[in-house]
Amino acid sequence: MTDLFANLSMGFGIALSPYTLMLAVIGCMIGTIVGALPGLGPSNGVAILIPITFTLGLDATEALVLMTAVYYGAMYGGRISSILLNIPGDEPALMTTLDGYPMAKNGRAGDALVISGVASFVGALLATIGLMIFAPMLSRVAYSFGPAEYFALYLLAFSTLGGIASNNQAKAALASCIGIGIATIGLDNNSGMPRFTGGNLHLMDGIDFLVAIVGLFAIAEVFFFVESHGKGTALGVKLEKVTVPVRDIVKSGWCMVRASGVGFVAGILPGAGASLGSFLSYMSEKAIAGKKGGFGTGVPKGVAAPEAGNNAAAGGALIPMLTLGVPGSGTTAVLLALLMTLNITPGPTLFTDRPEVVWGLIASLLIANVVLLLMNVPLVKIFVKILQVPPAILMPGVTMVSFVGIYSLTGSYFDLLLMVGFGIMGYVFRKLDIPTVPIILGILLGGSMENKLRDAMVLSGGDWTYLFSSTISTSLIVAAVLGFIAPIFLRRYLTKPQRVSD
Amino acid sequence: MASSDRIFGLVTVGVALAYVASATQVQTSFLADPVGPKAFPMIVGSIAALCGAVMVLRPDAEPDWPELRTLGAILVSVIALVIYAYTLKPLGFLLPTAVVAGLLSYQIDPRGLRAILSGIGLSVSLFVLFRFVLDLSLVGLPKFITG
């Protein structure tokens, strides 16, 4: 316990310097705006900002503070477009629209925004505390992980991501394979031989994951806006004076705490992440409230539960990401990309080798959370104004920022072309209901997955049963198989609620 | 019956098999480990081919593809972005950005004057932001103008 406080005070020592504090505040501001804008969510918002942050020449801790502030800010901001426009910024925010939008239509938009803001704060705060307690514990367990265990863990991440978060196992597995396949392009790590480059010199270094992320997340979104002509982004509800509905907040207090617990646990599962967190917390609160609870008609608890669960899951997802290097959601995958860009290798050694990074990050999460609560309740009207920027100006802007980011990172027109290619791919795949997050995960983890497999085979002299040699690896592989197959049978009972239509 | 999923599944099977085939051609060096550089891509490619086959056999409901005109608008945007990728370096930031941003804006919401204004506005304001506030090394105008 004393360790915890010593570490935490070291973290605050780093995060409370005036410069990093300023970065945190700026990050929160940008994050909330990015999250609130329709068409931009935590994952693509953070994705387009990574290349630019990288070229600014910030050091690792500063860049991390800035981007995690953006990440948490985008989680907060996402609720604004969910509630006022019925447009979820990303998958986990879908649950907030279920009660948030009806509440806004009933003339309680201000109340819904404040309640969800407080719920976000509670969820994120509890999850950050959980992160401080459980992450060092898990990192000690992770020390005993050998290549076989890591390989099994990657398998689990891909199968739960495909199994739980998508509608069709084959498509999710295909997406993972595509990602891993893309990761194999370039020079082979072990033998140094080129693979799948087709003799193209640009492909020797492999495909930069940032190019793929920005293309799949941001450029694809532009094509969707061209298709819809930006319709459905007009503000349909009025936001009157914003007051703090103290009674509703107190009444849904326990509900927020329960939802945070559910969300946090779901967030820790590798691959499952934030979508599952907000889904489970909404469904369990709906079950507790029963028919009289009126979930789905615009009740405060229906806004509080998914928003607390969503933010708690975002915090929980940081645990496997930091200790094992396996992200739990699309957005944490993007954060992993950020760490890799900054040359920080997540894993158990991160906690012992670079404690200043870990604890500086945790301290800045706590700071960002308080800043966001203070910023979001009184300033919500300003963010609503920003929401009204027409997509015909916003989306070209997003495109140009993406291009400049990638261009200043790599300086090559070939990467820009690749990015456009990934954009087309993202558009077609989303049309066909093929999830794109496993592609990102595959590109990020495919290389290490292959390395771990080959390391394991070197250790065992080519004996494949080595993969099942320890209890940890065997149970991880069993969990992976179950996590992939079980949803096929459960899907009949666990239908995802669809968006409320007007 | 042909459906998007079936066509896509078929293409996937083809690409995946080609990927596996080209994996067999990867050169192995004398520093070989027991698995080598071929096995892992071959496994991944085989799984992908299997998934493609499942998509052919059990396709989902047909997605609602946009009508031909919208598809044309998306195609125009793609072409604009490709041209942008090629011209960003030789022509500097300001000119290509103004044209492409305006074009994209027009594709999203066909209002001529606003598209032109947002193209110019975005180009200038983003240049100021990147060049002077964030201090990125961007070239504003092509060499043959600035000399």
Report yes or no: A85 and A43 within 8 Å, Cβ to Cβ: no
Q: Could you tell me which residue, A183 or A204, shows the higher pLDDT?
A: A183
List the beta bridge partners of residue A194.
A187
Q: Could you tell me which residue, A234 or B135, shows the higher pLDDT?
A: B135
Residues B95 and B136 in one domain: yes
Is residue A194 helix, strand or coil? Answer: strand
User: Nearest to residue A327, comparing CAs of A489, A491, A179, A492?
Assistant: A179
Q: Could you tell me which residue, A43 or A116, shows the higher pLDDT?
A: A116
pLDDT tens, residue by residue, A158-195: 887 776 667 788 888 999 999 999 998 988 777 777 88
Mean pLDDT of A466-471: 85
- Cβ-defined contact of A226 to B55 (cutoff 8 Å): no
Query: Which of B19, B34, B57 finishes a domain?
Result: B57
Q: What is the pLDDT of residue A240?
A: 66
Complete DSSP assignment for chain B: ---HHHHHHHHHHHHHHHHHHHHHTPPPPTT--SSHHHHHHHHHHHHHHHHHHHHHHS--PPP-PPPHHHHHHHHHHHHHHHHHHHHTTTT-SHHHHHHHHHHHHHHHS--HHHHHHHHHHHHHHHHHIIIIIS------S-HHHH-
Q: Which of A31-40, A303-312, B49-58 has the lowest mean pLDDT?
A: A31-40
Residues B102 and B124 in one domain: yes
- Cβ-defined contact of B34 to A195 (cutoff 8 Å): no
d(CA A143, CA A145): 5
d(CA B74, CA A390): 19
- Cβ-defined contact of B78 to A454 (cutoff 8 Å): no
- Cβ-defined contact of A397 to B126 (cutoff 8 Å): yes
Q: What is the pLDDT of residue B53?
A: 92
Give how far the C-alpha of residue A152 lies from the chain's centroid of Cα atoms, to the nearest Å: 22
Mean pLDDT of A358-373: 88
In angstroms, the Cα distances linking A331 to A44, A62, A136, A219, B137 are: 8, 19, 22, 17, 29
Mean pLDDT of B68-74: 89
Mean pLDDT, chain A, integer: 83
Provide the Cα torsion A296, A298, A304, A308; round to 10°.
Answer: 50
Alpha helix (H) residue ranges in A411-491: 413-431, 437-460, 471-490
Residues B51 and B74 in one domain: no
Q: Could you tell me which residue, A500 or A240, shows the higher pLDDT?
A: A240
Residues B52 and B72 in one domain: no
Q: Which residue of chain A is at minimal alpha-carbon distance from B71?
A: A227
Tokens of A455: 């390391």
Residues B83 and B139 in one domain: yes
What is the number of structural domains in chain B?
Answer: 2
Mean pLDDT of A36-40: 77
Domain ranges of chain A: 2-490
pLDDT tens, residue by residue, A44-103: 788 888 888 887 878 888 888 888 888 888 888 888 888 888 877 666 777 888 888 888
Measured between beta carbons, which residues in chain A are less than 8 angstroms from residue B32? 191
Q: Is the Cα dihedral A97, A98, A99, A102 positive or negative?
A: positive
d(CA A321, CA A273): 11
Q: What is the pLDDT of residue B102?
A: 92
Q: Could you tell me which residue, A451 or A252, shows the higher pLDDT?
A: A451
Residues of chain A above pLDDT 90, percent: 10
User: Nearest to residue A305, comparing CAs of A276, A273, A262?
Assistant: A262
pTM score:
0.88
- Cβ-defined contact of A407 to B88 (cutoff 8 Å): yes
Residues B103 and B138 in one domain: yes
> Out of B5, B33, B70, whose CB is closest to A227?
B70
B24 contact A CB<8A: no
Mean pLDDT of A309-325: 87
Residues B47 and B73 in one domain: no
Is A501's pLDDT higher than 60? no
Mean pLDDT of B46-55: 92
Residues B131 and B104 in one domain: yes
Residues B51 and B72 in one domain: no
> Out of B5, B58, B78, whose CB is closest to A420?
B78
Is A134's pLDDT higher than 70? yes
Structural domain includes residue B124: yes
The whole domain housing B119 covers 68-146
Residues B72 and B51 in one domain: no
Residues B141 and B74 in one domain: yes
Query: Which of B20, B37, B57 finishes a domain?
Result: B57
Residues B78 and B109 in one domain: yes
